[in-house]
A and B are shown apart, each in its own frame.
Chain A
Amino acid sequence: MSVVQRPSPLSKWYLPGIFAGLMITMKNLIVNLFYRKGMSTLNYPEEKYEYSNRFKGTHVLTVKKDGSIRCTACMLCATNCPAQCITIIASEHNDPSVEKFPIAYEIDMLRCVFCGFCEEACPVDAIRMGPEWQIPGISGTNFVKGIDYLAHRPALKGGIVSVLDEDERHRAGI
């Protein structure tokens, strides 16, 4: 014998569903009027959204402990970039222990898709995706950002030190 569950006649009425919907609207109305902290609106300029550690924002070029740039201009990030937005010009350094460093490192913010492939490709932790989202600009601003903006902008407070130390790198033979 099979038992078939058919929908009860009460569930086919319009009115219970309408009543439940109206109750949700009334609840939202009363919460918004009398208990403003429960309102779901994020008042953007006064309140900010909290992002997680893994948020992929504007890039950050890290520096070594003495303040010079960590990047060794190996071009792995530029090769891996799917939007081809990174331009690097490498050059020799006066200090013989530093083999190669970039004199120009530019990222075109209009081409970048913020995928994080450059951060994955870099072997020396020279580029990271930071926690700030991208700032819009009126027409005429320059969106090709160089080392000044990526490594030394005011929000970074003097440059973020890279995780990979120079002595460890030499001992490891990289």
Chain B
Amino acid sequence: MALFFSIKNLKEVGERVQVPWLMVKGCCKIEVENIRTATYDWTRLGVEDIAQHPSEADVMIVGGWVTSSYADELKNVYSQLSGMRSVIAVGACALSGAPYAASGETIIKVSDILPVDVFVPGCPPRPEAVLEAIQALRLKQKPQKDQKKVIYEALKGPNRN
């Protein structure tokens, strides 16, 4: 009987679990939702299933075009994220608004509204590219040794000699 997953995957999964919240619309939605299926499984990489409410999530994936009214909604959802809030921006529409730059409606770049951590170019990007972005995010968010020390000192409390 074959093993269920390799030892490499076990180490990755054990490190950190991320809970995502998807705010992707349009053509990018089809490609990003592909990574939840069995073909490009994202549970192999330690991403839990999608959160029930944004306040349980710590990664937000944004895709699709952004107009001014949608921008208010995005900022609202971003303010409800918890933990290390990170944003992954997917697709040419979110990154620069280029496909709809000639339209009358103002198309906004996501990096103008939210602090984006990883940019994924493409129209739409391949699902493997979004998996690589999730891995890049995990490498970026690895806490450094100094950070751990700061948290420990804070936990000890004030006025310690």
A: which residues have CB within 8 A of B? 33-34, 36, 40-44, 46, 48-49, 82-85, 108-115, 133-139, 141, 143
Of A41, A42, A108, A138, the contact of B96 (CB 8 Å cutoff): A108
In the assembled complex, which residues on chain B have CB atoms less than 8 Å from the CB atom of A143? 119, 121
CA distance A42 to B40 in the complex (A): 6
A141–B126 alpha-carbon span in the complex (Å): 20
B1 touches A34 (CB 8 A): yes
What would be 12 A-B contacts, judged by CB atoms less than 8 Å apart?
A41-B38, A41-B39, A84-B98, A110-B95, A112-B98, A133-B122, A133-B129, A134-B125, A136-B118, A136-B120, A138-B136, A141-B119
Q: Are B123 and A40 in contact, with the CB atoms below 8 A?
A: no
Task: Assess A34 versus B2: contact at CB under 8 Å? Given A41-B41, A110-B96.
Answer: yes
The answer to whether the Cβ of B17 comes within 8 Å of any Cβ in the partner chain is: no
Binary contact track B23-43/A, C-beta < 8 Å → 1, others 0? 000000000000000111100
Sample of 6 further A-B pairs with CB below 8 A, known A110-B96, A134-B121: A42-B39, A83-B101, A112-B98, A112-B121, A134-B125, A139-B119
Cβ contact within 8 Å between B117 and A112: no
Report if B145 contacts A (CB, 8 A). no
Nearest CB of B to A13, in Å: 30
